[in-house]
Amino acid sequence: MFQTLKRELLAGITVSVVALPLALAFGMQATQNSDGAIIGLYGAIITGFFAALFGGTKGQVTGPTGPITIIFTGVVASHGIEYAFIAAFLGGLFQIAFGLLKAGNYLKFIPLPVVSGFMNGIAIIIIMGQLKYVTGSFMVVLLTIAFMLFSMKSIKLIPPSLMALILGTIAVILLEKVMPAVHFSLPFINDFIFFDTVDRIGEIPKGLPQLQLPVAEADIILQLIPAALSIAVLGSIDSLLTSVVMDNMTGTKHKSNKELIGQGIGNTLAGLFGAMPGAGATVRSVVNLRSGGQTVISAMVHSVALLLFMLVFGSLAEEIPLAVLAGILIITGVTMFDYDSFKILKDEPRSDAAVMVVTMVLTVAIDLMVAVGVGIVMSALIFMKRMSEEGFKMTNKAEGGLSLYFLEGPLYFGSVEQITRTITSDNNPHIAIDIAQVTIVDATGALTLLQLNDQLKERGQNLYLVGNDLDLGGILRKMDIFSRIGHHRHFETMDELNSYLRKFQMTISS
């Protein structure tokens, strides 16, 4: 028992070291100034603790992530920071509702090209957001990137982001002492490469975050609902994707709907206490797992460790340069790219490649939720087209005055056009449809059978159905399809149909 607790404590502390610079950096990205660093840290503390306590994925660590940061940044820019907290609060409520409504069973069915597209778009936005620091403190950003790349390749004991944070801050302090003695006659060179001072994070509160009740006018609340839904949907997708990664590494099975409720509670409280919302973070969760964290304890310890850091070492964090955080964010954005999605563009179906590219472009140019919505719709249409062409088969056998059609696969709205076109062009007096190999029936498919029966009846033709729908959940019976066509036209087997037709001197071998 003691060894397990010790392992969880050490894992939580290790993860907090990884989470610290990312929380500060994402917070700065959200507000585009030094004030945001603390709300990013608050977000990691609050969402990390409560999402772990109430969530459904063991060892998952929650905190500010790229998708959530981009949405939150947009709300801050359009409505201000106070209303952004209200959006976070509402987003958490939506996530709780998702969990209670069992939406977790469906949110995980997001096509990979859509996920790759919006993650690539988010990476571009994060990098673009740091350009003002690149042009203002080029040397600091460059040194930070160099420190981080060196750490990623050569130093294994200390997380690269933390190493870059420490070395970058030290470098700035040293350069500020040396550079005033260096003079350049060209002012733009001084501004672009060197500097006299570099903006810092500034004062970090030494106490706990204060409760902020979400008070706003009704019209403002309505304006915030799209952003809140974006936080809820993208945060849920992000978290459930991380949950799947954790399942693959541990061999366990997460509880999707419970995870959504936990994420919702964390984000609701984040909004109430003036913090950034968050989501399950893959990198932090993997570090937690590899450090020995296997339960919710390690993820909760990570939040407590961040809180202690803020209370005890907050004065040191105040000296962190914003340009150093910008360098960390640039590398974070670069590592977020799904490079494999570009490598296989020439090999994967063009339609999938198009979904990825369109989602990426819309994420950068318009809006993250618009991009995801368009990507999902495109993927659904492409899937339906493929299913109608490849997943559904229709074969025909004709003898005497009977045409027998064998249906295989899903009988749904994507396949009915082929069925209707083929059967209505058949002039045989007796037409039978064998549904024994049908795997799925939706309302459109079922009603198409009725429409075919009516059309054929008007032309003096007879329609027969062969097979039962027990494997389909009895949907044809529930919709009274058999009775509306006529029970005397429905047969369980071909033998029954042949026996019926023999009365009219027609025989067909089964």
Token pair in block for residue 308 = 């202690």
pLDDT recorded at residue 191? 56
Lowest model confidence (mean pLDDT) among 83-97, 227-241, 294-308, 489-503? 489-503
- Give the full edge-to-edge strand order of the sheet including 402-411: 393-399, 402-411, 430-441, 462-466, 490-491
Helices (H), ranges, 251-392? 256-272, 282-290, 296-317, 322-336, 339-343, 350-365, 368-386
**3-state secondary structure (DSSP) of residue 406:** strand
Residue 243 CA to residue 11 CA, distance in Å, equals 18
Query: 88 and 72 in contact (C-beta within 8 Å)?
Result: yes
Token pair in block for residue 138 = 């080029």
Residue 410 CA to residue 438 CA, distance in Å, equals 6
Instruction: Summarize the confidence of residues 19-25 as an average pLDDT.
Output: 87
Q: How far is CA 234 from CA 66, 114, 282, 371, in A?
A: 10, 12, 14, 11
Instruction: Summarize the confidence of residues 322-344 as an average pLDDT.
Output: 82
Other beta carbons within 10 Å of 364: 18
Is pLDDT of 95 > 90?
yes
Strand partners, 396: 405
pLDDT recorded at residue 302? 93
Instruction: Summarize the confidence of residues 356-375 as an average pLDDT.
Output: 87
Closest C-alpha to 398, from 425, 448, 449, 432:
432
CATH of domain 392-502: 3.30.750.24
The letter for the amino acid at 377 is: V
Strand positions, DSSP E, 375-447:
393-399, 402-411, 430-441
Is pLDDT of 90 > 90?
yes
- Tell me: the pLDDT tens digits for 203-214? 777 777 888 887
Is pLDDT of 179 > 70?
no
Cα angle 60, 316, 49; round to 5: 20
Lowest model confidence (mean pLDDT) among 331-345, 368-382, 397-411? 331-345
Lowest model confidence (mean pLDDT) among 30-34, 42-46, 341-345? 341-345
- Tell me: the pLDDT tens digits for 469-501? 776 667 788 888 888 888 788 888 888 888 887
Is pLDDT of 200 > 60?
yes
Residue 302 CA to residue 424 CA, distance in Å, equals 66
Residue 2 CA to residue 10 CA, distance in Å, equals 12
Strand partners, 371: none
Concatenated DSSP letters for 311-329?
HHHHHHHTT-BHHHHHHHH
Token pair in block for residue 7 = 């392992």
Residue extents of the structural domains in the chain: 2-202+212-363, 392-502
